[in-house]
C-alpha cells in the first residue's frame, strides 16, 4: 500500500476548510491544535523490550501477571538499544512527551531492588536532558524471586514484606532525584500485583498488611518532597495468577488515595471486560484533585493491546474536556505487544492517544450543554452525531505538520527503514 503523505499545500487547504466547518460551531481549531500538542504524554519504556528490563539476567524472573506475547525480531537488548528506539519513536510523534521508566530498567551495577540508588538513574537522566524530555518512574514489584508467592507488600512473611517496603522507599528517593535533576515533578506509580489465583480463605489480612506497608513506604519520616515525587497507586480487577483476588482493588486504592492524599491511577484495562472508565472520571474527580490515567486497550481481559483511536479512547478524553478536567489527568501509556514491530506499536498507540485529545478538544461542548440545559435533547443528540463526520482528519494532519512529524501514514516509511538498518541487525 502506498504511503500517504500529502504536500504542504494540500494540508493547509484541507485545514482551512476544516477550520471553517468547526468555526460554524464556535470551535477554534487553532486553539485546539495548540493545546492538544501541549498536553504531556508519558510513553512507557517497556514496549521496546517486552518488559525484560536491565537487571542481571540470572535474577530475571517472569511473573506478576505480566506477559508480552509474540517474538517479533528486533527486541532491544540493552540500555543503548532502548534509548535509540525511544529516539526513533519520539521523532515520529507530535506533541510534548515524557518517558515512564520501570525500576527494573535501572542500571544497577548488580544492586538488588531494596538497595537501588538515585545514581542508578543517572544514565537515563543524562539521556532525558539531551532529548529534552521529562521522566516518570515506577516501582517494580514483580519478576523477582521474592515475588514468587504472589504476595509482596501484603506478604505474611515479614522478611519479604520489609524487602518490598525498602524497594518502595528507595524508588521514592530516585523519583525525587529525577525531579530535582530535570526540574519537573516525577510521577512515581506503584502497581502491586499481589493476589490469588483461586478463592482465598482470608481476604482481610493481606489488605490490612498492604495498608501497613504503604503507610510505612509513604511515611513523611523518610523526608521525601512530595511536590517532586508524586506518588500514585494503581488498582486492578484481576490478572494472570490473580484471577480470583487482587489485594489492591479499585475500592481499596480509591479509598487509600483519598486517605493519604496521593494520586489514584486508573488503567483502562484494569476493570471488567465490559466496563469502561469514562463514566468514572466525573465521579472520581469530585473528590480527587487529579488522577493518573494509564491508556491501554483490553480485549476480553486485561491484555494491554496497542492503543487505537476507538470509541473507548475518544470517550475518555471527551469526558475530560467536557468537564474542563484535561489538566487534572496525568496521561501515560501502558501496553506491550511483541507480535508486531515494536516501534510501530509505540507510534500507533501514542498517535492514537494524541489524536483522541485533539478530537475531544474540537468538541462543541458548550453548545451541546446549552441544548441539554434548554431541554433540546433531540438537537443535542443530532449534533453529537453530526460532529462525528466533521473533517477532523484534516485538523489532525495539520497538527502533525505543525509539529514537524510525518503526516498520514508517512511515518511507516521511517519505521521500515529503521527496521532494515537497525532492528534486523539485532538477531
Regions of the chain with pLDDT less than 50: 58-61
Q: What angle do helix axes 79-90 and 411-421 make, rounded to 10 degrees?
A: 160
**Measured in whole angstroms, how far is the alpha carbon of residue 292 from the centre of its chain?**
8
- pLDDT score recorded for residue 302: 82
| 62-91 pLDDT per residue, tens | 556 677 888 999 999 999 999 999 999 999
Predicted confidence at residue 118, as pLDDT, reads 98
Alpha helix stretches (DSSP H) within 247-310? 250-260, 278-284
Residue 81 inside a domain? The answer is yes
Burial class of residue 333 in the structure, from the number of CB atoms within 10 Å of its CB (0-12 exposed, 13-18 middle, 19+ buried): buried
The confidence score (pLDDT) of residue 5 equals 76
| CA angle, residues 169, 210, 291, in degrees to nearest 5 | 75
Return the exposure string of 181-190: e unless at least 16 CB atoms fall within 10 Å of the residue's CB, then b: bbeebbbbbb
With beta carbons less than 8 A apart as the criterion, state whether 213 and 194 touch: no
Q: Is residue 118 part of a domain?
A: yes
390 located within any domain = no
**pLDDT in the model for residue 57:** 57
Chain centroid to Cα 260, Å, comes to 22
% of the chain beyond a pLDDT of 70: 97
Residue 60 is predicted with a pLDDT of 43
| Total domain count, the chain | 1
Q: Which residue in 186, 153, 193, 149 sits closest to 171, CA to CA?
A: 186
Any bridge partners for residue 137, and if so which?
101, 188
> Quick check: is 76 in a domain?
yes
pLDDT of residue 43: 98
Measure the CA–CA gap between 100 and 26, rounded to whole angstroms: 37
Report residue 55: phi and psi, to 5°: -75, 170
* DSSP state at residue 63: B
Catalytic residues: 191, 234, 236, 267, 270, 294, 302, 304, 334
Which of 328, 331, 322, 326 lies closest to 350 in space, CA to CA? Answer: 331
Q: What is the pLDDT of residues 378-421, one digit of tens each?
A: 999 999 999 999 999 999 999 999 999 999 999 999 999 999 99
pLDDT tens column, 144-161:
999 999 999 999 999 999
39 within some domain:
no
Please give the model's pTM, rounded to 2 decimal places: 0.96
Instruction: Indicate the pairing of strand 245-246 with strand 195-196.
Output: antiparallel
140's CB contacts (< 8 A; 6+ apart) are 53, 102, 103, 104, 113, 167
Q: What is the pLDDT of residue 62?
A: 52
pLDDT number for residue 58: 46
Residue 214 inside a domain? The answer is yes
For residues 40 and 96, the answer to whether their CB atoms sit within 8 Å is: yes
Q: Is residue 275 part of a domain?
A: yes
Domain containing residue 119:
47-362+409-426
pLDDT for 320 equals 98
- The answer to whether residue 139 sits within a structural domain is yes
Residue 347 host element (H or E) = helix 342-361
Question: In b/e form, how buried is each residue of 228-257, taking b as 16+ CB within 10 angstroms?
Answer: bbbbbbbbbbbbebbeebbbbbbebbbebb
For the segment 309-322, what is each residue's pLDDT rounded down to a tens digit? Answer: 999 999 999 999 99
Query: What SS3 class is residue 66?
Result: strand
CATH number, domain containing residue 53: 3.20.20.150
Give me the pLDDT at residue 239, please. 87
Amino acid at each position: 500500500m502506498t504511503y500517504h503523505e500529502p504536500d504542504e499545500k494540500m494540508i493547509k487547504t484541507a485545514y482551512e476548510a476544516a477550520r471553517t466547518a468547526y468555526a460554524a460551531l464556535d470551535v477554534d481549531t487553532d486553539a485546539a491544535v495548540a493545546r492538544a500538542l501541549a498536553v504531556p504524554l508519558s510513553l512507557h519504556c517497556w514496549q521496546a523490550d517486552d518488559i525484560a528490563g536491565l537487571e542481571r539476567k540470572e535474577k530475571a524472573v517472569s511473573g506478576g501477571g505480566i506477559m508480552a506475547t509474540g517474538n517479533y525480531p528486533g527486541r532491544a537488548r540493552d540500555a543503548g538499544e532502548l534509548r535509540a528506539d525511544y529516539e526513533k519513536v519520539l521523532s515520529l510523534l507530535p506533541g510534548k512527551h515524557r518517558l515512564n521508566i520501570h525500576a527494573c530498567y535501572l542500571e544497577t551495577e548488580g544492586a538488588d531492588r531494596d538497595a537501588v540508588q538515585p545514581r542508578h538513574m543517572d544514565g537515563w537522566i543524562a539521556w532525558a536532558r539531551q532529548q529534552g524530555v521529562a521522566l516518570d518512574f515506577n516501582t517494580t514489584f514483580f519478576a523477582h524471586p521474592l515475588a514468587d508467592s504472589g504476595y509482596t507488600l501484603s506478604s505474611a512473611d515479614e522478611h519479604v514484606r520489609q524487602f518490598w517496603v525498602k524497594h518502595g522507599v528507595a524508588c521514592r528517593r530516585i523519583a525525587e532525584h529525577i525531579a530535582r535533576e530535570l526540574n519537573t515533578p516525577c510521577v512515581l506509580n506503584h502497581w502491586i500485583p499481589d493476589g490469588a489465583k483461586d478463592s482465598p480463605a482470608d481476604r482481610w489480612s493481606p489488605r490490612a498488611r498492604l495498608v501497613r506497608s504503604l503507610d510505612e513506604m509513604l511515611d513523611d519520616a523518610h523526608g521525601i518532597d512530595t511536590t517532586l515525587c508524586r506518588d500514585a497507586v494503581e488498582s486492578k480487577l484481576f490478572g494472570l495468577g490473580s484471577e480470583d483476588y487482587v489485594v489492591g482493588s479499585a475500592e481499596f486504592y480509591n479509598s487509600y488515595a483519598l486517605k493519604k492524599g496521593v494520586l489514584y491511577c486508573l488503567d483502562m484495562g484494569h476493570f471488567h471486560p465490559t466496563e469502561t472508565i469514562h463514566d468514572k472520571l466525573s465521579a472520581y474527580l469530585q473528590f480527587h484533585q487529579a488522577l493518573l490515567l494509564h491508556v491501554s486497550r483490553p480485549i476480553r481481559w486485561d491484555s494491554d493491546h496497542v492503543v487505537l483511536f476507538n470509541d473507548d479512547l475518544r470517550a475518555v478524553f471527551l469526558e475530560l474536556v467536557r468537564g474542563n478536567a484535561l489538566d487534572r489527568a496525568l496521561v501515560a501509556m501502558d501496553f506491550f505487544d511483541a507480535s508486531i514491530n515494536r516501534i510501530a506499536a509505540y507510534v500507533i498507540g501514542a498517535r492514537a492517544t494524541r489524536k483522541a485529545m485533539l478530537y475531544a478538544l474540537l468538541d462543541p461542548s458548550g453548545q451541546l450543554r446549552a441544548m441539554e440545559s434548554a431541554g433540546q435533547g433531540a438537537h443535542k443528540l443530532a449534533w453529537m452525531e453530526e460532529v462525528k463526520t466533521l473533517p477532523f482528519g484534516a485538523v489532525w494532519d495539520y497538527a502533525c505538520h505543525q509539529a514537524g512529524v510525518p503526516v498520514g501514514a508517512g511515518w511507516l516509511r521511517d519505521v521500515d527503514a529503521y527496521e532494515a538498518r537497525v532492528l534486523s541487525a539485532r538477531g
